[in-house]
Amino acid sequence: MKALGADDTFPKLLVRNAGAFGDRTAQREKEFGIWQPYTWGQVHDHVRDFSLGLVALGMQRGDKVAIIGDNRPEWVWSEIAAQGAGGASVGLYQDSNLNEVAYVIDHCDASFVVAEDQEQVDKILDMLDRLPKVKAIVYTDPRGLRNYKHPKLLSFEAVEEKGRALGAERPELWLENVRRGSADDVAIICYTSGTTGFPKGAMLSFRNLLTMALALHEVDPKKQDDEFVSFLPLAWIGEQMMSLSAALAIGFTVNFPEEPETVSENIREIGPHVMFAPPRIWENMTSTVQVKIMDTSPFKRLLYNLFMPVGYKIADLKFAKKPIPFGWRILYRIAYWGLFRALKDRLGFTYLRSGSTGGAALGPDVFRFFHGMGVPLKQIYGQTEISGISCIHRDDDIQFHTVGKAISDTEVRISETGEILSRSPSVFLGYYKNEKATADTVVDGWLHSGDAGYLTEDGHLVVIDRIKDVMQLADGTQFSPQFIENRLKFSPYVKEAVVVGKDRPYLTAMLCIDMGIVGKWAEKNRISYTTYTDLSAKAEVYDLVQKEVDKVNATLPGAARIHKFVLLYKELDADDEELTRTRKVRRGFVEDRYKDVIAALYGEQGEVEIDTTIKFQDGKIARIHTRLLVRRLELGKAA
Amino acid sequence: MAILSVKGVVLYFRGVTALYDVSFEVQPGTIHAIIGPNGAGKTSMLNCISGVYRPQRGTIAFDGRDISRLAPPERTGLGIARTFQNIALFRGMTVLDNLLIGRHTHQKTGVLGGGLYYGLGEKEEIAHRRLVEDIIDFLEIQHIRKKVVGTLPYGLQKRVELARALALSPKLLLLDEPMAGMNAEEKEDMARFVLDINEERGTTIVMIEHDMGVVMDVSHRVCVLNFGEKIADGTPEEVQANPDVQAAYLGEEAPAPSEREA
């Protein structure tokens, strides 16, 4: 097991860093068009003041502080401050709705809430009668809150002010508080957005989080002068791992984008050395490049079409672990100067040493695309319950269909039932106030992932699907809907896919088109459309998607082929509870909601009348009345 | 004391009377809406205040000073800024440059100082940029800072125009149909911004708007014009209850339900 050393909590590491390299930049936030740096010393002072401020407001050791908002330095300061006062932090997804916010804050017994702005404060205030345990709500952005006169509401600065006053009175208190913390204290409670039922709060200790960061560091090293851009929700374990555990343990710089809309621009400005993002981000980048190449000047398009195959060739050789012939090396050099250098610069990947993706499968085409231009993209696998990660691809050993090998100090094995089990010092302490679920999940130290999978001969882990999702057709054939859905989603035109077929005679699919790319395609082919609903009902679009489904069908065994599909009239959305906040399909809910559509998929009529209402985020309700076509596929001889 | 006081304004174009004996006062720190059916003279009124039209009779006083005879740039210098019904921005320039041009009136270094740039010019430019960035942050347009205005969607262009008006650091902001042509979500955002400008910056706002829902929600006082004459003036509730207003909007014999759009 990794020895954590004397500085075994986040606050202790912060004190250490402030002492060892107090003048180096710890964080940057883009504000007013300029990257504003904060040194380790400044971060330490903010954290100290805010922490003492919480104490002054009556925070006790063991209290919880809930934090909701976009990625900002204050988010991270609040978390370490809460931990410094002996408490734990609970992150909430910034796009959570009222009920989700109220459920988590109440369930975790938070006594303080740090909310970014008016939008988040409104959510909390609306639900305050359901949150009797909350003592104070702290906001970081005063905009629009001037006329709010709630007795429990105060600003981040006001709390810091109280902290400074307390610090002047008792200068030793902060370090005393920090020293009282230990590696096995609960550091964060991470609410996992379950695909079924209420979210569960996974309690993670400093030991869990730090052993994780160090074990990953061993196989995927980071340096002190690395840059990292924090743009995924800080409530998510992956972002916690990078922006807190790893940043504190190693000491690299974390950069916070100006606004969620400016992320890609900001990534380009920073040029990060490490990046961790879910598949949809990488997929988006790939499709954005492809769409923009369609629009660019003929000369640039020529360069792209000339040099990209060189990249693909090199990538394929690397994947196959074959040596690269001298001639190809020369060609690749030329391709680098002709294309990849500029392309990487555009994406902000000039300095990227390690990019990783996790949470779901990523298509081979996307892998080849990034490796082709020289961006080392790796798949990782893990759960919140194991502090994020148990497996990762090694630099020289990338296989698309696997999620790599176990990281240091981590054992992975497959149970008799085919479930993936893992064990490491990073396995969590348990679910908050839910011992039954804890006992079901961790047996003899082995974390039961609920995923079905197998190990290859060379020790790579392959993940098939959630065990409970592995389904049987009426004739007993087993199939994994997620496996097929992922294959479907590898198509740039398909954004979401839900495969249906449990206890049915054959498989069908409900698909959501990608508005951006299909829209572009429609423009190019002179097909006019108005809305998403309209575009997805076009016969030409059906033809387009059918070709994609046919391609996938060709790779599937006979019984697991898609017989019919529909294109849904709206995108699946987390606000409609169709997806989790990390964008996984909530299968049971979706199948229930679209039961008319499913009935049509298994009926004979070939189309279905849809008359439904959808609710927008601002509470407005719109009626959708449309006719949904069912496309039947010509299935050749079964393979 | 009223920040803007309009007294007996008469404006006619040859035979057509656009405004007849219109008087009203705007108190500092309020949002004052001007409503009325098409052709009622709302934009003419705004043009009289900003100096595009010179009324034949009557006076317009701003901050206790008669501005009736001042040219538009002089009025801008005193602290009156406006937006237009049809967007008036430099379409080929970036958002940032459009906003910096809004700071022109406040530019103190001349051709020489500004042209040499280093020293005073640089210092001033940084101060102006800082102010403009504040507005960019305020109106949440960071993501389009360096985009060319002509390439932006309509709703965003409207917001940029508002930002340009704010860049003048006005005491009085005239908005000509800020929400025209917007969808429900954009309207809601814009209403939010209008309120925020008023509350956070203390700017007095005179606004022409057709969406009665928005008008009734955000304004402190409403002044109703019909065929160039003022027919009502008061709080939103008073105006809504006024029989003349109901008649002007709904025709003489209508029963008079609320005007609020569904």
| Chain B residues close to A32, C-beta within 8 Å | 130, 133-134, 136-137
Length in residues, chain A: 639
DSSP B150: G
pLDDT for position A559: 77
- Compute the distance between CA of residue A458 and CA of residue A404 in angstroms, rounded to an integer: 10
Report the complex ipTM: 0.72
**φ, ψ for residue A377 (rounded to 5)?**
-100, 130
User: In which band, very low, low, confident or very high, does the pLDDT at A107 lie, cut at 50, 70 and 90?
Assistant: very high
pLDDT for position A2: 58
Query: Which residues 85-144 of chain B have a CB within 8 Å of chain A?
Result: 129-130, 133-134, 136-138, 140, 142-143
What average pLDDT does the segment A599-609 reach?
Answer: 82
Burial of residue A129 (CB within 10 Å: 0-12, 13-18, 19+) is exposed
pLDDT for position B110: 72
The letter for the amino acid at A144 is: G
What average pLDDT does the segment A360-366 reach?
Answer: 82
| Strands A110-115 and A136-139, bridge-based pairing | parallel
Mind telling me how many Å the CA of B149 is from chain A's nearest CA?
17
A104-118, A140-154, B35-49 — most confident range:
A104-118
What average pLDDT does the segment A609-631 reach?
Answer: 74
Query: Could you write out the DSSP letters of every residue in A61-115?
Result: TT-EEEEESSS-HHHHHHHHHHHHTT-EEEEE-TT--HHHHHHHHHHTTEEEEEE
What is the overall mean pLDDT for chain A? 89
- Compute the distance between CA of residue A275 and CA of residue A380 in angstroms, rounded to an integer: 12
Nearest by CB to residue A32, choosing from B133, B140, B196, is: B133
pLDDT for position A272: 95
The chain A residue lying nearest B145, using CA atoms, is: A33
The DSSP element (H or E) to which A30 belongs, if any, is: strand A25-31
Query: Which residues 602-621 of chain A have a CB within 8 Å of chain B?
Result: 616, 618, 620
pLDDT for position A251: 93
| CB of A256 closer than 8 Å to CB of A244 | no
Mutate: best of A29, A30, A32, partner B, most B CBs <10 A: A32
Compute the half-sphere exposure of residue A366: CA atoms within 13 Å on the CB side of its CA: 27
Mapped onto helix, strand or coil, the DSSP state of residue B20 is strand
Mind telling me how many Å the CA of A33 is from chain B's nearest CA?
7
pLDDT for position A3: 67
Q: What is the pLDDT along chain B (262 residues), one digit of tens a residue?
A: 789 999 999 998 888 888 999 999 999 999 999 998 888 889 999 999 999 999 999 999 999 889 988 999 889 889 999 998 888 889 999 999 999 988 877 777 777 767 777 777 788 888 899 999 999 999 999 999 999 999 998 889 999 999 999 999 899 999 999 988 888 888 888 998 999 899 888 899 999 988 888 888 899 999 999 888 898 899 988 888 888 888 887 665 544 444 444 4
Least confident of A83-97, A241-255, A288-302, A474-488: A474-488
Burial of residue A111 (CB within 10 Å: 0-12, 13-18, 19+) is buried
Mutate: best of A70, A143, A256, A616, partner B, most B CBs <10 A: A143
- Compute the distance between CA of residue A542 and CA of residue A545 in angstroms, rounded to an integer: 5
Mutate: best of B135, B136, B142, partner A, most A CBs <10 A: B142
Quick: pLDDT tens for B168-184. Answer: 989 999 999 998 888 88
Check B143 against A147: CB less than 8 A apart: no
- B217 interface with A at CB cutoff 8 Å: no
| Strands A471-472 and A442-443, bridge-based pairing | unpaired
- B185 interface with A at CB cutoff 8 Å: yes
Task: Classify the C-alpha dihedral B170-B173-B179-B185 as positive or negative.
Answer: positive
Q: Is the pLDDT of residue A108 over 70?
A: yes
Quick: pLDDT tens for A378-436. Answer: 999 999 999 989 999 998 888 888 899 999 889 999 998 889 999 999 999 999 998 99
The chain A residue lying nearest B187, using CA atoms, is: A618
The CATH classification of domain A470-632, taken from the options 2.40.30.40, 3.30.300.30, 1.20.1600.10, 3.40.50.300: 3.30.300.30
- Compute the distance between CA of residue A531 and CA of residue A518 in angstroms, rounded to an integer: 12
- B189 interface with A at CB cutoff 8 Å: no
- A259 interface with B at CB cutoff 8 Å: yes
| CB of B158 closer than 8 Å to CB of B190 | yes
What average pLDDT does the segment A171-187 reach?
Answer: 94
Q: Is the pLDDT of residue A637 over 80?
A: no
User: What radius of gyration, in Å, describes the C-alpha atoms of chain A?
Assistant: 25
- B220 interface with A at CB cutoff 8 Å: no
Show the tokens assigned to B70: 């001042």
- Compute the distance between CA of residue A387 and CA of residue A208 in angstroms, rounded to an integer: 6
**Ramachandran region, residue B234 (left: φ > 0; alpha: ψ -120 to 50; beta: rest):** left
| CB of A113 closer than 8 Å to CB of A134 | yes
The chain B residue lying nearest A264, using CA atoms, is: B143
Query: Could you write out the DSSP letters of every residue in B203-248?
Result: -EEEEE---HHHHHHH-SEEEEEETTEEEEEE-HHHHHH-HHHHHH
pLDDT for position B48: 93
Check A33 against B129: CB less than 8 A apart: yes
- B196 interface with A at CB cutoff 8 Å: yes
| CB of A352 closer than 8 Å to CB of A282 | no
Query: Could you write out the DSSP letters of every residue in A271-312?
Result: --SEEEE-HHHHHHHHHHHHHHHHHS-HHHHHHHHHHHHHHH
Task: Look up tokens 């100290």; give the residue.
Answer: A48
Nearest partner of B179 among B137, B208, B202, B217, judged by Cα: B208
Nearest by CB to residue A32, choosing from B130, B184, B199, is: B130
Mind telling me how many Å the CA of A358 is from chain B's nearest CA?
27
pLDDT for position B252: 57
pLDDT for position A448: 92
Check B185 against A618: CB less than 8 A apart: yes
| Chain A residues close to B199, C-beta within 8 Å | 144, 146-147
How many contacts does A have with B, using Cβ atoms within 8 A?
37
Nearest by CB to residue A146, choosing from B137, B192, B199, is: B199
pLDDT for position A73: 96
The CATH classification of domain A10-273, taken from the options 3.40.50.300, 3.30.9.10, 3.40.1360.10, 3.40.50.980: 3.40.50.980
Q: Where are the domains of chain A?
A: 10-273, 470-632
Q: Is the pLDDT of residue A574 over 90?
A: no
Show the tokens assigned to A172: 């030793």
Quick: pLDDT tens for A430-457. Answer: 999 989 989 989 999 999 988 888 898 8
| Chain A residues close to B200, C-beta within 8 Å | 143-144, 146
**φ, ψ for residue A319 (rounded to 5)?**
-60, -40
pLDDT for position A503: 79
pLDDT for position A636: 53
Check B142 against A33: CB less than 8 A apart: yes
Cβ-Cβ contacts under 8 Å for A53 (sequence gap 6 or more): A81, A158, A159, A160, A161, A162, A163, A164, A166
What domains can be seen in chain B, in order of their start residue? 1-79+170-256 (3.40.50.300), 92-169 (no CATH)
